[in-house]
Amino acid sequence: MEEKINNQLNTRGYALIPSLLTKEACGEMISLYENKGLFRKRVVMERHRFGKGEYQYFNYPLPGLITNIREKYYAALVPLANMWMKALKISIEYPASHEEFIEECHTAGQKLATPLLLRYHQDDFNCLHQDLYGKVFFPLQLVICLNQPGKDFTGGEFVLTEQKYMSQSSCEVITPQLGDAIIFATQYRPVMGAKGYYRAHMKHGVSRVRSGERNTLGIIFHDAEV
């Protein structure tokens, strides 16, 4: 990953990648939502008290664009992920390629695809959470905003909270533009304390959409338990 992005991830636990997808690609991605055959599961968030709105998990085989993003960004992020594990003295070393990592997920019984499309309308929101689907997980994930804030929707900011040692939680509010991606820590990130690095726990969510429709594409690198 570029040094600037790595630095942002190390200092704040997230980074913004401008224009990862074109407007056309965002439009095509949104239209996949109606293609029920592409998905393994639809979740109505209110039923689980996850928030309000809905999302669908893609099934394998994934659309080519999603596979490409997953492979490319996994490979770009793996050196940082391994540095984080070392800093935190966790004896996990992630393999260089996403294909090998998926093998590890499968061996651990995590075989279901996790990339997802989310759709929010007015008054919808996503409660603070972490996307863990089994023992094996990658410490970073990515979300791409498929609509233009201020035009297609208002509100619906991306929210990241961080809980540092012996502190209350702090938060960052991020407003990606159409096509922008946010890379962020899935569960925790290393923060330097008096006795070396410790885990700062992070959660993410989405504030209430005030008007319009907001679609996002979530790219999670690990697979899920059956």
Ligand X SMILES: O=C(O)CCC(=O)C(=O)O
- Chain length of the chain: 226
Angle at 143 between CA 226 and CA 135, to 5 degrees: 30
Q: Which does 143 bind (CB under 5 to 8 A by kind): Fe ion, ligand X, none?
A: ligand X
Distance CA 14, CA 30 (A): 24
Would you say 13 or 218 has its CB closer to ligand X?
218
- Residues 179-208 within binding reach of ligand X (CB under 6 A): 204, 206
Q: Which candidate, 130, 37, 54, 137, places its Cα nearest to that of 90?
A: 137
Interface residues with Fe ion (CB under 5 A) are 131
- Using CB under 6 A as the binding rule, whether residue 158 contacts ligand X is answered as yes
Indicate the residue whose CB is closest to Fe ion.
131
Would you say 87 or 159 has its CB closer to ligand X?
159
Would you say 44 or 96 has its CB closer to Fe ion?
44
Q: Cβ 138 to ligand X, closest distance in Å?
A: 12
Angle at 133 between CA 157 and CA 196, to 5 degrees: 75
| Sites of contact with ligand X (CB under 6 A) | 118, 126, 131, 143, 158, 204, 206, 216, 218
